[in-house]
Amino acid sequence: MRLELKDTSRFKDPANLTWDRYMTIQTRERERYLAEKATIPEDVLNFKHVSPRYLSNAVEQFANNYYSEEAATRYIGTAAAHAPFEELKKCCVFQFADEQRHLEMDREVFDRAGIPERDWLPAWEQPGTTCRFFRHLLELEDAVEIIVKANFVAEGAAGPGTFAVLADGAEARGDRLSAVNHHSRVRDETRHISYGRALTKALIDENPSNLDVIQKWQDQCLRLFVEVNKGGHRRAWWEGFLASYYKIALPLGLKKTYPLG
């Protein structure tokens, strides 16, 4: 199943970025991030005050953060290489730079927490993580399919609400570095979601029958994500995840894959 936007003028980058504008935004974001990080005392940054139990439980979350970003740099690089028109390619290229920054922020968490690198991948490959979903994305080559599945569905779901929950949870347990990372990443992810949504909407506006394919892609993605709900043990997270996605998907005519509540 391949979708093509025939009239590419239907897609406009909602952030209206140019190289100059992007550099300005990203420089400002980086300065804001470094300023927030500078308020955290060194021993707190180095996880000296969290409970040992927190750290052993958090390795899985650290791996979900780190490897999702690592996957994102790779699949959005593929999308940039295969983008069917310039305006879309430009969005992918700027996102590529964002995801690399997120990846480095998450690597620092693992390093400061003193988690040996050999433990990172096994933590992500165990059941109940985002691994299966992102490995699916990494098999794709079509830019449109990657952007609809990754930016619209996955980032749309793991949007501002979900990252706020993760940030609050980390902060409450004394993990201020993860909290600052989540707040910073979400400011970029919001931009990734909006161009993913703009592409999805353009595809549906141009040809309403594209909706059937997008519905199939959505169903496939959410089914790959459901294991992260751990059989209902992370219900608050899962419902927040679905709710943020449905908020952008239902107005475009998509139907729920899983009911809510």
The span of 20-28, 101-109, 169-177, 237-245 binding Fe ion (CB under 5 A) equals 101-109
Q: How far is CA 59 from CA 121, 126, 139, 163, 231, in A?
A: 10, 12, 26, 17, 20
Interaction between residue 70 and Fe ion (CB under 5 A): no
- With contact defined as beta carbons under 8 Å apart, do 198 and 15 qualify? no
User: Under rule CB under 5 A, how many of the chain's residues touch Fe ion?
Assistant: 5
Among 70, 145, 175, 189, binds Fe ion (CB under 5 A): 189
> 102 or 173: whose CB is closer to Fe ion?
102
Q: How far is CA 256 from CA 12, 49, 244, 249, in A?
A: 27, 42, 12, 9
Report how far residue 99's alpha carbon sits from residue 105's, in angstroms, rounded to the nearest whole number: 10
End-to-end Cα distance, the chain:
32
The span of 56-64, 99-107, 112-120, 233-241 binding Fe ion (CB under 5 A) equals 99-107
Reported as half-sphere exposure (CB side, CA atoms, 13 A), residue 70 has a value of 14
Among 90, 191, 192, 197, binds Fe ion (CB under 5 A): 192
CB of 53 to Fe ion, least distance (A): 28
**Count of other CB atoms within 10 angstroms of residue 54:** 15
Residues in the chain: 261
CB of 241 to Fe ion, least distance (A): 15
Interaction between residue 102 and Fe ion (CB under 5 A): yes
Interaction between residue 106 and Fe ion (CB under 5 A): no
Report how far residue 221's alpha carbon sits from residue 237's, in angstroms, rounded to the nearest whole number: 17
> 50 or 144: whose CB is closer to Fe ion?
144
Interaction between residue 175 and Fe ion (CB under 5 A): no
> 50 or 66: whose CB is closer to Fe ion?
66
The vertex-24 CA angle with 18 and 29, nearest 5°, equals: 125
CB of 198 to Fe ion, least distance (A): 15
Q: Which residues bind Fe ion (CB under 5 A)?
A: 69, 99, 102, 189, 192
